[in-house]
Amino acid sequence: MSGKVDSIHIRGGNALFGETQIQGSKNAVLPVMAAALLTEDVCVIENCPRISDVIHMQNLLTKIGCKLSRKGRNLVIDAREVSEDYMEGESVTGMRSSSMLLGAMLGRTGHITMAYPGGCVIGKRPIDMHLNALAKMGVVIEEKEGAFTAWAKRLEGNVIKLPFASVGATENIIMAAVKANGITIIDNAAKEPEIVTLCDFLQRAGAVIEGAGESLLMIKGVNKLHGIQFRIPGDRIVAGTYLFSVLGTGGHIFLKDAPTRQMLSVMRTAAMMGADIEISKEGLSVLAEPARIPIPYVKTEVYPGFPTDLQSPLMAVLSVGEGTCIIEETIFEDRFKMAQELAKMGAQIKIDGKQAFITGVPKLVGCEVSAGELRGGAGLVIAGCMAEGETVVKNRHFIERGYEDICRDYQNLGVNIYTG
């Protein structure tokens, strides 16, 4: 079977055994990199993953005048000078999370012009929520063709109630508020671990924040922040991906530096499916039989509920076995695209609006499939690990947005996998 260079080849059907290191968190490092702008100083970000989204963020920070360098697992950001406030190009339009630079730049310079992040337009989540919230802090928004300008003579603290506990909007408000005049209160703030990490970084740099990880968050503006050395925690979604992988194939794996405190809903779901889980200071041990216990219903929710980013990996695992399961997706409107690719491998999945009805089949058969986005791509790699024969997952670049080296990690667990 042939595949393009931008592909992953997997010969599946074997149980997983071994140990792999969990990389630094994608969802935590990107807002921390943006927040380094607010320090007007030098920050050292430890345990920074080598993923394409980080490279995009590095490009954006470099474009506006920051100096960045790599020292092993550490990323050094010198944000003492900012010479540009216009952001465009693939690093913006190809990465939704580039929007978090909005709050950071407003806090730093009070002005930014940027292309619509991730191809979004005003009126569609998440950009509208960000801009509406920032407008309450005195930010003026001017739309241009394919871009917008946001500026404020002075950011003013306010009470902002979010209609949805959006991670991105919460991050943007926090970064604007730490340099604003007075106190900002976010009602219905996101509680995700990445919010807590961002607040921890800013507090260590001199910010005044109370309520991180709670629905009510208070930020008191300060005049100045300072540079720090800060370590990014392990990636809970990467750890969850490999946890579900061993549920799909059977075996015994150890996930070093897995952030277990952030993974309670994931570990609970895995235990319901028959996983034997042991937690230690070093990480997470998972022992599983290939015959999984069917679970009738799983619903994605904001943290601490089951994460939407692990819906696709879970779907891949549930596609093989006995019984029927319903997955309900409540976070993103169009996150079942992987189902039609799994069907090529023999899965039986019916999509009805926000629900996917999965009827387990005896086995999946390897074939050529295409990743359409990051987490769906990871789910297809799991399916390839489970399937008989060879699977080729095309569009590897989607997976590289969030997984530092997924082939290396699976090779550590005994999978016959390589890029091609």
Residues taking part in catalysis: 120
In the block, residue with structure tokens 């005048």: 65
Instruction: Retrieve residue 383's tokens.
Output: 């399916």
Distance CA 146, CA 26 (A): 27
Instruction: Retrieve residue 129's tokens.
Output: 């929520």
Find the helix or strand (DSSP H, E) in which 94 lies: none
Those residues with Cβ within 8 angstroms of residue 334's Cβ, 6 or more apart along the chain or in another chain: none
Burial class (CB in 10 A: 0-12, 13-18, 19+), 90: exposed
Instruction: Retrieve residue 142's tokens.
Output: 């001017």
Instruction: Retrieve residue 228's tokens.
Output: 């720090």
> Is 292 in contact with 276 (CB distance < 8 Å)?
no
| 120-154 b/e (C-beta count within 10 Å ≥ 16 → b) | beeeebbbebbbbbbeebbbeeeeeeebbebbbee
Residue 190 phi/psi, 5-degree rounding, is -65, 145
> Is 247 in contact with 275 (CB distance < 8 Å)?
yes
Instruction: Retrieve residue 232's tokens.
Output: 């990014």
